[in-house]
């Protein structure tokens, strides 16, 4: 969400459905907790963790989380769901992470093979090609076609 060119908040949207909820806003709210300049909606965090529940992801070929940041590093936000998914799933995951936090995130969740794409350097086609290759390899490992 933007107002006059300034980021005022973020919505959480489940890909593949029309479900959307305000995740955070820069408007002060006593019903929300503050991190940085944003106030976070607990209901949206619960919704995000529901989306990332392993029971809801077992039939997926790719898990996309946009974004993992300071909240998760502190053990909040999607942290618990991410922890479960890295232990349970062999499903490839695409995480959007700020460049300044990449190494902290990698240390927090020792996920095995990590591919880092830099949106300032890597073209969309290259990222798409690499993701298709990763998903295809995982399907072979899982015995799928």
Query: pLDDT tens, 44-102?
Result: 999 999 999 888 888 888 889 999 999 999 999 999 989 888 887 778 889 999 999 99
User: What range does the domain containing 61 cover?
Assistant: 2-141
How many CA atoms does the CB half-sphere of 32 hold within 13 Å?
Answer: 21
Task: Answer whether residue 124 shows pLDDT above 80.
Answer: yes
Structural domain count of the chain: 1
Average pLDDT across the chain, whole number:
89
Do 25 and 9 form a contact (C-beta atoms < 8 A)?
Answer: yes
Residue with tokens 């029309």: 18
Looking at residue 132, its pLDDT comes to 92
Looking at residue 145, its pLDDT comes to 61
CA dihedral 133, 121, 82, 23 (to 10 degrees): -130
* Alpha-carbon separation of residue 123 from 71, 113, 118, 127, 129 (angstroms): 28, 21, 9, 6, 10
Instruction: At 29, list the tokens.
Output: 């709210």
């Amino acid at each position: 969400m933007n107002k006059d060119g300034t980021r005022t908040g973020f919505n959480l949207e489940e890909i593949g459905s029309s479900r959307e909820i305000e995740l955070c806003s820069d408007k002060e709210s006593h019903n929300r907790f503050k991190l940085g300049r944003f106030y976070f909606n607990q209901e949206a965090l619960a919704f995000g963790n529901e989306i990332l529940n392993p029971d809801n992801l077992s039939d997926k070929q790719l898990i996309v989380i946009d974004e993992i940041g300071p909240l998760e590093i502190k053990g909040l936000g999607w942290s618990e769901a991410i922890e479960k998914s890295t232990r349970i799933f062999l499903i490839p995951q695409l995480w959007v992470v700020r460049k300044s936090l990449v190494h902290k995130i990698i240390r927090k969740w020792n996920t095995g093979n990590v591919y880092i794409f830099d949106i300032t350097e890597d073209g969309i086609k290259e990222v798409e090609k690499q993701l298709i290759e990763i998903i295809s390899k995982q399907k072979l490992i899982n015995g799928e076609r």
